[in-house]
Every structure is written in C-alpha cells, then in structure tokens.
C-alpha cells in the first residue's frame, strides 16, 4: 500500500471513531496510544495531542491498585465488561467512566488493546447553555397538544410548574415524558438552576448509588470525593428517568433525600443539605410496579404528589395532524425542503395505526420519508420503507373492516375467512396484534444484537432509535443483550 493510502485510511477510520457517542482508546502492545477519539478526549478533558503516541501511564495516574484497565489488557490479556474506573488526568481532574476493555490478538500474540468508555458522570446530563436555561431544549410552547386529553395534561403541568412538589410522569415510550419534564423545569422558578437528567435503566445497578448520591474518598478502592447528581442538581431539577429501574434499597435512600432534604455520599459520615426538585418518569403502570416489587409504595406516594399521565398517541388522534405538520416544518428547515404535507389517505392511515412507539415513532416515519424526498411536495406511501408501509396499509384495511362490521355488514366477512396475515404467516385476530408486533420487534432487536455482538449503543444506532428506547424494548420483549456478547 502506498503511504498516502495508509494516511487516508487512517483519516477515514478516525472520522468514523470521532462520530461515535462512546469514547474509544486504542493502545499498542507497549501501552502507547494509537487511536483516541473525540468523545474520549471530551470525557477525559484532554486534547488528542496530549495522549497520542504516549504511554498511557505517562499521561494518566491510576489510584486503583489494579492500575489501568488498558495496560492490564495488553500485559495480561485481561478483559473487562462494565467496569467502573476512576483515575486522574494530567491536571489532576478525576474522571469516572464505565469501560469495556479487551486485548487484540494477532497470531496468538497480544498486539494491543481497545477500551470503549461511557462517561457516567455526565450521561444525559444537560449542562448549562448560553441561553441561560440550563440545558433545557423544550418549553411548554414546543409541546403540541390539540387533543383534550393532552391539553389537560399540559394544563396540569403548568399548574405543577409553579410549585416545588415532586412530579411523577407516567406514559408509554415516546409519548413525550422527557419533553414535559424539561418544560416543567423551564416554566418553574428554578429555571435558572441546573436541569440534570439521568436514565436509571442506562447504568448498571451497582453504579447507581455512587452516581446519584456521590462518593467519599475511601468508600471503596479508588473512590474519590465526588458529588452525585443529586448534589449537582442543587438549586435546580433532577429528572430520574425510568424510576422503576432503580434498585429497591436505593429507592429507600432516595426517599430519605425527599423527606429530609439532605444527601449522604457513599462512605461519608455527614449529611449535606440539598435543594432539589425531583421529577421522575415511568413507562409502566406504577400500580403494577408496586405489586411486582419494582417500586416501593412509600417512595411512590412521596413522589406522586402530582402524577401526570401522558396518554398513548393512539388514544389522541387529534394530535396526529398537528404533530405531522410540526415535524414536517422542522425537517423542512433542517433538510432545506419545501414539503407541504402528506396525502390524505396517508394521514388516514396515520390515524388508524396504533403507534406502539408513540410520537417518537411518528417522528421517525416522517423523518425517514423526508430523507427520500427531493422536489416532491407531498409525502405519500411511496416514500415509506416497505415494512412501515405494510403496517400502515394494514391499519387502514383493519379499520375498514371495523367500520364495515359497525354498519352491520360484519357478516360479509365469515369467521373462517382468511384474515390478514402476520409476517410469520399465522392467521391473526385483533387481540393478538400486540403479540405479533412484539414478536416482530423481538426478531428485529435480536438481529441487531447479533450483528453488533450485543453492543446496545451500536444496535440502537442501526435501528435508528435512542439507546434508552432500545433498552426499554429489550426489557419489554425479554431480550438480554449480554447473551449476544462474545
Ligand atoms: N407533544 C409533542 N409535541 C412535539 N414533539 C413531541 C411531543 N411528544 C413527543 N414529541 C417528540 O417525540 C420524541 C419522544 O419524546 P420523549 O423523549 O419526551 O418521550 P419519552 O416519553 O421520554 O420516551 P421514553 O419513555 O422512550 O424515554 C421527542 O423527539 C419529542 O420531541
Ligand atoms: Mg424519555
């Protein structure tokens, strides 16, 4: 290969690594850095020049007896999954990450090691922005609510925004819970304080406590004095996303924060006062979560002073046309297009369809279609990928059948007539539709996990959904990504 080919390949590879949401750090057999992506530089607050071409222990210091996981991988072939590591950069700043580290072999020899890192301390934490509203992108004004049900929810949210009460937001995935939480913060007297959000399903159980409550030096090997997210949200709002994923003993600890307004870091002896408003979301019925032991009743009563229940999109069809218009307008700006709407028949299908992924799914359908458009003005069925189109056409056909039977013409469809066929070829009646959707979702998720060897972030990217949403679906259909890891 000519030298310029090597250079351009390296450039391509670097561009690919820089586009990832996870930190990537690759060392050779000597522990010298050969790749270091942008996200890793962000996480470690280092510049690439400081790290590239140097030995890792010249650049970072590791308080933990085990030392660097990367060096451990090149020296002993050690692999690690989801290990929390705290170390220091050259300026002495503590960095905490959750890592996956593995050695790379060629001809039976270790030639280097790869570390993939998530920065747990800032996972989904929205930092202050130039707008003065700490990290909030949405206000109530950006929430579309035409249906009476959604207007009612918005009205309750407006009233709750004026107070300091905890709010529990319950709704299926993609219904707009995060949007409401951000809107609540932006409309509250705390709007100039921080808005910190943490998805509890996205971090391993063993790490939740340290992340939320903070740690004191010596609490465990390598522990440093570090505030948790509760303290970081002081003066502002903390959103605990997917509260039902929080381990029960920690729910008791959280309750204490709510009742006594103090927080005690892991391994610390003293309580620190905090002034935080807690918002929490759940995507399942709290009653069921309590009965099945995933949610402590006492925490529920304390948090649900105000409960906002966001209805699924299928129960508020009035919101569909304005949401479609809203997404088209936004994407017209982003893509430089002049789309003016969708065909009436497609809108009917949107209204007939039951949207298991709710508003997010609708948004993705519009976005997918507009990606395929050039100078056409109207979105039609031809702009949709085959599987989406089939589902929508099916929804229209089903509705036609329901209408026909409602007019007393149901007898035209004898009971033993072949009904609409599921992708599996099984005959399908109304009540099993959800099961088929779940089966279909399960097989899509399994394929994506197989292709990505159980890497949830990567699988989410391939499926065009957020990591959080994928986690939700994995639980919903009972698929364990660990089973796909090598
Ligand atoms: N009423 C609405 N108006 C405008 N956009 C909306 C509305 N509801 C949802 N969206 C959009 O749908 C997407 C999903 O919303 P959001 O992230 O708030 O859902 P969620 O309920 O938190 O979902 P999950 O349970 O999966 O986390 C976002 O991109 C959001 O912009
Ligand atoms: Mg959410």
Determine whether the shortest distance from the Cβ of 175 to ligand 1 is under 6 A.
yes
Confidence at residue 98, expressed as pLDDT on a 0 to 100 scale = 78
Q: Which ligand is nearest to the CA of 197?
A: 2
Q: pTM score, two decimals?
A: 0.62
Which atom from ligand 1 is nearest to the alpha carbon of 180?
A: 18
Q: Provide the pLDDT for residue 59.
A: 81
Give the per-residue pLDDT at 464.
80
Q: Tell me the C-alpha to C-alpha distance, in Å, between residue 77 and each of 102, 105, 222, 452.
A: 7, 9, 22, 22
Tens digit of each residue's pLDDT (9 = 90 or more) over 75-120: 989 898 877 777 777 666 667 777 889 999 988 899 999 999 876 5
Q: What is the 3-state secondary structure (H, E, C) of 76-133?
A: HCCCEEEEEEEEECCCCCEEEEEEEEEEEEECCEEEEEEEEEEEHHHCCECCCCCCCC
Using an 8 Å Cβ cutoff, are 54 and 90 in contact? no
Q: What percent of the chain has pLDDT over 90?
A: 46
pLDDT in tens, 431-464: 445 566 667 778 888 888 988 888 888 898 888 8
Cα(271)–Cα(294) distance, integer angstroms: 27
Six-digit token pair at 460? 């989410």
Banded pLDDT at 465 (limits 50, 70, 90): confident
| Contact residues for 180 (Cβ-Cβ < 8 A; gap 6+) | 143, 153, 154, 157, 169, 308, 310
- Interval between CA 181 and ligand 2 midpoint (Å): 9
pLDDT in tens, 260-287: 999 999 999 999 999 999 999 999 999 9
Q: Closest ligand 1 atom to the C-alpha of 326?
A: 4
A 10 A CB-CB count for 191 gives 18
Q: What mean pLDDT value characterizes the chain?
A: 83
**What atom in ligand 1 is closest to the CA of residue 199?**
27
280 Cβ below 6 A of ligand 1: no
Cβ(174) – ligand 1 distance below 6 Å: yes
For residue 332, what are the contacts with CB-CB under 8 A and spacing of at least 6? 338, 339, 370
Q: What is the pLDDT of residues 175-201, one digit of tens each?
A: 999 999 999 999 999 998 888 888 888
Which residues are within 8 A (CB) of 303 and not within 5 positions of it... i.e. 6 or more apart? 166, 167, 168, 243, 258, 278, 280
- Complete domains list, the chain, with CATH: 3-120 (3.30.450.20), 140-311 (3.40.50.300), 316-401 (1.10.8.60), 424-486 (1.10.10)
Q: Which class for 29: exposed (0-12), middle (13-18), buried (19 or more C-beta within 10 A)? A: middle
Best mutation site among 175, 367, 476 for ligand 1 pocket (most ligand atoms within 8 Å of CB):
175
């Amino acid at each position: 290969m000519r030298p310029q080919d090597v250079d351009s390949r390296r450039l391509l590879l670097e561009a690919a690594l820089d586009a990832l949401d996870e930190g990537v750090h690759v060392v050779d057999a000597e522990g010298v850095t050969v790749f270091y992506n942008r996200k890793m530089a962000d996480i470690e607050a280092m510049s690439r020049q400081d790290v590239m071409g140097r030995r890792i222990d010249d650049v970072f210091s590791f308080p933990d007896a085990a030392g660097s996981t990367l060096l451990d991988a090149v020296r002993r072939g050690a692999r690690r999954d989801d290990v929390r590591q705290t170390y220091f950069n050259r300026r002495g700043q503590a960095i905490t990450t959750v890592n996956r580290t593995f050695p790379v072999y060629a001809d039976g020899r270790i030639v280097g090691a790869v570390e993939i890192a998530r920065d747990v301390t800032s996972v989904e934490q929205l930092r202050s922005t130039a707008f003065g509203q700490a990290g909030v992108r949405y206000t109530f004004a950006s929430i579309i609510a035409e249906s009476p049900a959604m207007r009612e929810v918005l009205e309750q949210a407006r009233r709750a925004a004026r107070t300091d009460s905890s709010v529990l937001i319950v709704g299926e995935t993609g219904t707009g819970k995060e949007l409401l939480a951000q809107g609540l913060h932006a409309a509250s007297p705390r709007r100039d304080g921080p808005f910190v959000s943490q998805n509890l399903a996205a971090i391993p159980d063993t790490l939740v406590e340290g992340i939320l409550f903070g740690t004191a030096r010596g609490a465990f090997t390598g522990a440093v004095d570090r505030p948790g997210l509760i303290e970081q949200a002081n003066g502002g709002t903390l959103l605990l996303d997917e509260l039902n994923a929080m381990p029960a003993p920690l729910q008791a600890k959280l309750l204490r924060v709510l009742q006594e307004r103090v927080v005690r870091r892991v391994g610390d002896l003293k309580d620190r006062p905090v002034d935080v408003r807690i918002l929490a979301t759940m995507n399942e019925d709290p009653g069921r979560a309590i009965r099945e032991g995933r949610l402590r009743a006492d925490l529920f009563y304390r948090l649900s002073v105000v409960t906002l229940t966001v209805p699924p999109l299928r129960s508020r069809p009035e919101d569909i046309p304005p949401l479609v218009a809203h997404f088209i307008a936004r994407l017209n700006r982003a893509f430089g297009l002049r789309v003016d709407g969708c065909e009436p028949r497609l809108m009917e299908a949107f209204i007939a369809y039951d949207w298991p992924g709710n508003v997010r799914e609708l948004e993705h359908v519009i976005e997918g279609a507009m990606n395929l458009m050039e100078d056409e003005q109207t979105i039609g069925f031809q702009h949709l990928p085959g599987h989406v189109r089939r589902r929508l056409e099916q929804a229209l056909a089903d509705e036609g059948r329901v209408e026909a039977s409602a007019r007393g013409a149901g007898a035209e469809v004898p009971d033993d007539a072949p009904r609409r066929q599921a992708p599996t070829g099984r005959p399908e009646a109304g009540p099993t539709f959800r099961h088929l959707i779940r089966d279909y979702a399960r097989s899509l998720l399994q394929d994506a996990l197989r292709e990505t060897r159980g890497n949830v972030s990567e699988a989410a990217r391939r499926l065009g959904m957020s990591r959080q949403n994928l986690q939700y679906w994995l639980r919903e259909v009972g698929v364990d990504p660990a089973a796909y890891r090598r």
